[in-house]
Amino acid sequence: MLKEFKEFALRGNVVDMAVGIIIGAAFSTIVRSLVDDIVMPPMGVVTGGVDFSNMFVPLNGEHYDSLAQAKQAGAPTINFGLFINNVISFLIVAFVLFMVVRGMNQLRRKQEQDPAAEPPPSREVQLLEEIRDALVSGSTRGQRGGGVPKPGS
């Protein structure tokens, strides 16, 4: 059973998937920072200084100055500002993935349109072809029966 697990775990697709998950997790922190630190502050300025991460509706009817205060008080809240941040994060990730897949598709189409030229034959193959051609041309020079000329004839 341990042998089968090692074969499964070390299979190329599983390792590739693990690397993809790790890179995806790292990429998500970059996207989160992009949304929270780059995209949302100017959006807050455009909307008159609104901080989307503090946009919420407390369900207990009380007023809280921040989401942190509401959470500290244990109040149930609908955090629509955080939802907006997450939607923007999703759109950024979806756009980046779209661009990656689009680029890969363009490369694949280019490869399908321009198939790779065959590499030139090796030196050994060239020599063998020369020998073959010499034998063929030597056997067709007026000799009957074909084949390689016999010594002394």
What pLDDT digit, counting tens, does each position of 36-71 carry? Answer: 888 878 877 887 877 788 889 999 999 999 899 999
The pTM assigned to this predicted structure is: 0.53
What are the boundaries of each domain within the chain? 2-116
Mean pLDDT, rounded, for 25-43: 83
Q: How far is CA 118 from CA 50, 92, 109, 110, 114, in A?
A: 62, 42, 19, 17, 12
CATH architecture designation of domain 2-116: Orthogonal Bundle (1.10)
At 98, list the tokens: 């779209």
Q: What angle do CA 38, 40, 44 make, to 5 degrees?
A: 125
- What's the DSSP call for residue 61? S
Distance in angstroms (rounded) separating the CA atoms of residues 9 and 2: 10
CB 51 within 8 A of CB 83: no
Give residue 83's pLDDT band: very low, low, confident or very high (50, 70, 90): very high
More confident residue, 130 or 49: 130
Q: Is 142 left (phi over 0), alpha (psi -120 to 50) or beta?
A: left
More confident residue, 122 or 3: 122
Distance in angstroms (rounded) separating the CA atoms of residues 54 and 67: 5
CB 135 within 8 A of CB 148: yes
At 47, list the tokens: 């909307």
Residue 138 has pLDDT above 90, yes or no: no
With a CB cutoff of 8 Å and minimum separation 6, the contacts of 44 are: 50, 51, 52
3-class state of residue 99 by DSSP:
helix
Closest CA to 40 of 96, 92, 90, 88: 88
